Amino acid sequence: MRIFADFINFLESKGIEIVIVIFPNTKYYNKFLDKKYENEFYRIIDTFKDKKFKLIDFSREGGFEEKDFIDFDHMSELGANKITNMINNILKCEKRVNC
């Protein structure tokens, strides 16, 4: 957690806009993921709420299919293209560009 905090502080000191993306998972990954790990992850992220960053969370996004993944945890080229477009659209809309 200290390394993450140092990294966030470094980016802030350089005036870099911070965007954290939580990628989607297959239904199998979500089914077998121990909730204590998920809760711990979000608890850690919450400790940084005083920092200025954008969190884009696709972990429970329902718009992905099996063909969007090459295995239970990694996106296929099709899925990578899909999520890249989604992230671009979110960031453009925040900046009011081609929204």
pTM for the structure as a whole: 0.82
What Cα–Cα distance (Å) separates residue 59 from each residue in 7, 73, 79? Answer: 23, 11, 14
User: Residue 99 domain-assigned?
Assistant: no
Written as six digits, the tokens of 9 are 């502080």
Q: Give the angle subtended at the CA of 89 by the CAs of 84 and 92, to the nearest 5°.
A: 120
Split into its structural domains, the chain has a count of 1
Residue 20 DSSP label:
E
Range of the domain at 83: 2-94
Which pLDDT score, from 0 to 100, does residue 18 have?
A: 95
**Low pLDDT (below 50) residues in the chain:** none
Q: Please tell me the distance from the alpha carbon of residue 9 to that of residue 91, in angstroms, as a whole number.
A: 22
Which pLDDT score, from 0 to 100, does residue 28 have?
A: 85
Which pLDDT score, from 0 to 100, does residue 98 have?
A: 64
User: Residue 14 domain-assigned?
Assistant: yes
pLDDT in tens, 43-67: 999 999 888 899 999 988 888 999 9
Q: Please tell me the distance from the alpha carbon of residue 92 to that of residue 30, in angstroms, as a whole number.
A: 29
